[in-house]
Each structure stands twice: as C-alpha cells, then as structure tokens.
Amino acid sequence: MEESSRYLAATRFAAKSYLLFKPPFMSEGDALHHPQNGFQEIPEDSDEISVNPMNIQKRTIVDRIFRNREYRPPWLWSLVQMIRNVHDESTPRGNLPALD
C-alpha cells in the first residue's frame, strides 16, 4: 500500500484511503477500536482518509443478515465516539479543528 501511495504522489495523483466502520460480524465495541488500528496502517502519503459506516443495500448478504436480525448497522453515537477517538491521531495529517 505504501508503494502505491508513493507512486501516486510522484505522478501528482491523490491517494484516498477508506476504512469501513462496523462491517458484518463485528460488534459495536470492536467497531470503536478497529479504525484506530486502521489509521496506523494507512501510509503517511495518503491525502485523504474516509471512514464509511456500513450501509445496507437491497439483495445483498448484508441485507439478508440484517433481515434475519443477525446484523445491525452502527449507531450514530458510536460513529461520533470513533471520530473523537481517532481525532488526535488524524490531526497532524489533516489539521482538523478541535472537537468540543
């Protein structure tokens, strides 16, 4: 991944990294800590980091396990807490404003 991001930087293309928040079969508690580990794996030359909460699309495996009550998408407040948890790690990269 680092080699790819260096190549993109050399060719003046932007590198965007994606983290999926609370994929299937992950508990809410694990989902809160998973992005923190993911942030450490993202190369320094990544221009942007996008954290995407899992969503449910019709006629997919996620839709099936949701309908069988075997999966629930992340709570909004878990996403807010995760952002607060990773804020300090991401501040040097993106110069994010302080969270109050």
Is residue 86 domain-resident? yes
Is residue 100 domain-resident? no
**What rounded mean pLDDT belongs to the chain?**
81
For residue 59, the enclosing domain spans 2-94
pLDDT of 34:
76
Alpha helices in the chain (DSSP H): 2-10, 28-41, 61-67, 76-94
CB 32 within 8 A of CB 82: yes
**Residue 23 identity:** P
Is residue 99 domain-resident? no
**Residue 53 identity:** P
| pLDDT at position 83 over 60 | yes
Is residue 62 domain-resident? yes
At residue 53 the predicted structure's pLDDT band, cuts being 50, 70 and 90, is: very high
Number of domains in the chain: 1
Query: Which pTM value belongs to this model?
Result: 0.71
